[in-house]
Structure 1
Amino acid sequence: MSEILIVSDNQTRIDTLKIILTFLGENCRSTSYAECLSVITNNQSLAAILIDGETPEIAEETIEKFPESPFINIGFQLNSDKAFKNLIGSLYEPITYPSLTELLRKSEDYYTANRPISSLVSGKTKLFRSLVGNSKGITEVRELIEQVAPVEANVIILGESGTGKEVVARNIHYMSKRQKGPFVPVNCGAIPGDLLESELFGHEKGAFTGAISARKGRFEMAEGGTLFLDEIGDMPLQMQVKLLRVLQERIFERVGGVKTLKCNVRIIAATHRNLENMINEGTFREDLFYRLNVFPIETPALRERAQDIPLLLQELVSRLEGARQASVKFTQGAMRSLMAHSWPGNVRELSNLVERLSILHPSHVIDLKHLPHKYQYDENGSIQQEETSLDETAERDAINAMFRYAEANPTAPEGISPSAENLAPMDTALPSDGVNLKEYLSDLEISLIRQALDKQDWVVARAADQLGMRRTTLVEKMRKYEISRQKETDNN
């Protein structure tokens, strides 16, 4: 099992790093400078070594002695001008999540490239960064993955849509003996039933209309690796029979072919459906269920592990930064609000939200007000009342002011432009030649604002009160229509 080693004589720094790494789900240990040479020599599964640069000379000497091991310098600037190939980078306090995870990812790549495959036992750092969180449910999932990955048992992954079932399947594959082979996913619900057989088993030339050449199926493409059958509950019954035969006998034929082909493929299936209920309803074969249900793993819904949302947000933001996209940060208020949401779309919904916010508010700090309304919850966990936008509020206030003025002044106000002359404010009769309603309302609004300002000697607060709107709304209206006392004086 790979792990992360902390090399330092500063106990405070060691404790801080252990807290951070444990929080990320990483397997870590520490050692002093005096013991580090023997520890590194005797441990061939160090995915990263975080070395305290407080004593630069000793740190550089250690880095140079172990060229196959990836090092991350912590806390201090090294003195040497040497370019150490295995020095992945440096971190300076305060250590941030994105910078640490990015260097750990680079360390893992270096570690993989410089170690024989036999020494890569579990690839745990990659696993834990794919399934972040400290809740009981996600911790159990990680443990089950580690247990089942080295063996050849069939696995079925259960859980709601968007909970990361394919992520679990990929981690099982990359931690198994088949990691060098292909990982081939198939969504059984996205392929029409009459095409699914050809998609899985392939076809020979002329097997059906349009089969102008022979084609390999997903089983052949996954030879020596893993075939992931997503949404297995959507597979038609006739295909379930053929899949059962492959699982039992490890042989199949292409559509339209007579040659029997052997397959060496590990099957991992997934579904959001309740297969036991489907068995009772006669829509899923019981014998296939027990073939697949050797080792079940249930992925928890995001609402059941809301405590993991801050870590998930950090991971999603880190991925955006890794892809060199504009990232965002979240305030505590925004995080608390997101933790109160029910997340029917689970982690996929959260991922989509983060990407949307990064487009709408690139490189900004996301507060509660920046979240879409359905994600805005108050401190009691109740969704907040939707606030009307400034434009809608201004429009509503202006229209209300017009009608209040019209009730008090049954004749049309002076100053209305010719386009509105034929329609009194409260007159519901439409002129025979029609009216441009937008222009009419704008002209009427301008006239009322000017009259109110004139009557109140251009004291905006009193004019706003007379018009029945907020002062800020009136200021916005004056700016929109370029109404000012100076301009009115110049025009007169």
Structure 2
Amino acid sequence: MSAATILVADDDAAIRTVLNQALSRAGYEVRITSNAATLWRWVQAGEGDMVITDVVMPDENAFDLLPRIKRLRPDLPVLVMSAQNTFMTAIRASEKGAYDYLPKPFDLTELIAIVGRALSEPKRKPSRPEDDGQDGMPLVGRSAAMQEIYRVLARLMQTDLTLMITGESGTGKELVARALHDYGKRRNGPFVAINMAAIPRDLIESELFGHEKGAFTGAQARSTGRFEQAEGGTLFLDEIGDMPMDAQTRLLRVLQQGEYTTVGGRTPIRTDVRIVAATNKDLKQAINQGLFREDLYYRLNVVPLRLPPLRERSEDITDLVRHFVQQTEKEGMAPKRFDNEALDVMKSYPWPGNVRELENFVRRLTALYPQDVITREIASSELKPDIASSPAEKADQRSGSVSISHAVEENMRSYFAEFGDSLPPPGLYDRVLAEMEYPLILAALTATRGNQIKAADLLGLNRNTLRKKIRELGVTVYRSARMA
């Protein structure tokens, strides 16, 4: 039996040489070219058992060539490589019919393994070539950890497999679930999210499955549940570990039989919903404690996906900061730039609140500092309260007892120094309080994305009091769009 022939197209001579040597050592025949035209001529002639191609070629983009290859030879596997390591690159590779996507720089061992799988598998049903024209990126980052997430999501887009997303709070679990929906085959259906931790436990079954009139005290009319609202689309079950046992039993029935009954109802209702669950808890520990059903865990954990904390992907901070700054500009804030030294400081910080904390940090600095460039000094001063040497110090500093008083003391020293031997005008106490009140309220509104109810709770103020102060101080409230 003759060796399989691999067609390699890449405009980088070094890449061509490395692939030629590695594939030849693995026992394959190799044909290499630097352009898409030659590759297309080989494919038209029926040559090759597999294609490995870069995306950006001097004469044609591989994403433009891929649909023609799949129409002419749908069973020819194509491995796409790219240095443009974004979520959309992985998605487009999948949508255009690529067998797999490999970001550069790649691991030769992994590449050889992919080639082996592609050539040994039976004929695959090609992916449906699509291009929805969306250039925005719902997920941001080029780190190795994010590349693996992109590849997993690209493979899941055209399936209905149940996904279990795990990760610390603030890592973006709902964003991943929404990206899976928005770019998958259920994109025309609804995306419905429900957070188990935010709903009273005795109401979760009603929220999920709906209830009939008179099912319980206060049920004065029939109410639809989240399953009915998500029909034909995706249901995102966040903080699944907080679901009570009775609701777990009902959910297991849905996953096993594809049907449910409303609270107080008797007629089973068929459902067509993709389930994506998420948790920041250790569900195996919850199973051992009798708090989570083991059979439900395995039904939900068909495809596990762990989102890394930001400290494990600090190289993505530059891209994330740029993204968040662009969002603030769209919302009307002045253009800002974080210099390289400021970014270095941010990359060394542990970010216990992960991407959500980083987003709030960027928003706070762009709102509070008038400078066009956010410097190392600014970033360090804002992060300093969270880089204490002991847990006790961190607790004190996060509560504001150290950092705020220290900042006020330093500013007051500078203020008095401006007057030399004389004293500032009377009324200093009220002036200082007024000057502190504006940035404090603005910071709270920025952190809560303009939600005045949450900001009032954060500040410990009555909602009407906060509204009055916003009017009196002339605070501009920026409301955030959905972030990626």
TM-score, scaled relative to structure 2: 0.57
Contact 2:170 2:356 in 1 (8 A): yes
Counterpart for residue 46 of structure 2? none
| Residue 328 (structure 1) shift | 2.2
Q: Distance in 2 between matches of 1:28 and 1:319?
A: 28
Aligned residue among 300, 307, 330 for 2:308: 300
Counterpart for residue 145 of structure 2? 137
Instruction: State the AA in 1 paired with 2:424.
Output: K
Q: Distance in 1 between matches of 2:284 and 2:317?
A: 31
Instruction: State the AA in 2 paired with 1:29.
Output: V
Aligned residue among 252, 261, 264 for 2:260: 252
After superposition, residues 461-480 of structure 1 pair within 5 angstroms as 473=417, 475-476=419-420, 478=422, 480=424
| Residue 176 (structure 1) shift | 1.6
Percent of matched pairs sharing the same residue = 43
Provide the secondary structure at the position in 2 that maps to 1:130.
Answer: coil
Aligned residue among 280, 287, 291 for 1:283: 291
Could you say what the CA RMSD is over the residues aligned between the two structures, in angstroms? 4.1
Kindly provide the CA deviation profile for residues 375-409 of structure 1, in whole angstroms up to 9, marking residues without a partner as x: 1499xx9999979868625867xxxxxxxxxxxxx
TM-score, scaled relative to structure 1: 0.56
Counterparts in 2 of 1:377 and 1:260: CA distance versus 1, 3 Å: closer
Q: Structure 1 regions of 5+ residues with no counterpart? A: 1-26, 46-100, 109-116, 397-469, 483-492
Counterparts in 2 of 1:366 and 1:40: CA distance versus 1, 3 Å: closer
Q: Distance in 1 between matches of 2:311 and 2:184?
A: 30
Counterpart for residue 32 of structure 2? none
Counterpart for residue 353 of structure 2? 345
Instruction: State the AA in 1 paired with 2:339.
Output: T
Instruction: State the AA in 2 paired with 1:166.
Output: E
Structure 1 residue 150 and structure 2 residue 167: aligned? Answer: no
Provide the secondary structure at the position in 2 that maps to 1:142.
Answer: helix
Q: Distance in 2 between matches of 1:477 and 1:361?
A: 30
Counterpart for residue 409 of structure 2? 392
Counterparts in 2 of 1:341 and 1:206: CA distance versus 1, 3 Å: same
Q: How many residues get paired?
A: 315
Aligned residue among 127, 130, 136 for 1:120: 130
Provide the secondary structure at the position in 1 that maps to 2:56.
Answer: strand
Contact 1:184 1:222 in 2 (8 A): yes
Contact 1:337 1:376 in 2 (8 A): no
Counterparts in 2 of 1:375 and 1:30: CA distance versus 1, 3 Å: same
Counterparts in 2 of 1:395 and 1:227: CA distance versus 1, 3 Å: closer
Q: Distance in 2 between matches of 1:264 and 1:287?
A: 21
Q: Distance in 2 between matches of 1:197 and 1:121?
A: 39
Q: Distance in 1 between matches of 2:214 and 2:239?
A: 30
| Residue 322 (structure 1) shift | 2.8
Counterparts in 2 of 1:180 and 1:366: CA distance versus 1, 3 Å: same
Provide the secondary structure at the position in 2 that maps to 1:156.
Answer: strand
| Residue 351 (structure 1) shift | 0.7
Q: Distance in 2 between matches of 1:395 and 1:326?
A: 28
Provide the secondary structure at the position in 2 that maps to 1:303.
Answer: helix
Instruction: State the AA in 2 paired with 1:252.
Output: Y
| Residue 357 (structure 1) shift | 1.6
Provide the secondary structure at the position in 2 that maps to 1:269.
Answer: strand
Instruction: State the AA in 2 paired with 1:392.
Output: E
Counterpart for residue 76 of structure 1? none
Counterpart for residue 181 of structure 1? 189
Aligned residue among 267, 271, 274 for 1:263: 271
| Residue 231 (structure 1) shift | 0.4
| Residue 40 (structure 1) shift | 9.2
Contact 2:416 2:423 in 1 (8 A): no
Contact 2:193 2:236 in 1 (8 A): yes
Instruction: State the AA in 1 paired with 2:409.
Output: E
Q: Structure 2 regions of 5+ residues with no counterpart? A: 1-53, 69-85, 93-126, 427-484
Instruction: State the AA in 1 paired with 2:130.
Output: L
Kindly provide the CA deviation profile for residues 329-370 of structure 1, in whole angstroms up to 9, marking residues without a partner as x: 111221111111111100000111111122212562111332
Provide the secondary structure at the position in 2 that maps to 1:227.
Answer: strand
Instruction: State the AA in 2 paired with 1:356.
Output: R
Counterpart for residue 229 of structure 2? 221
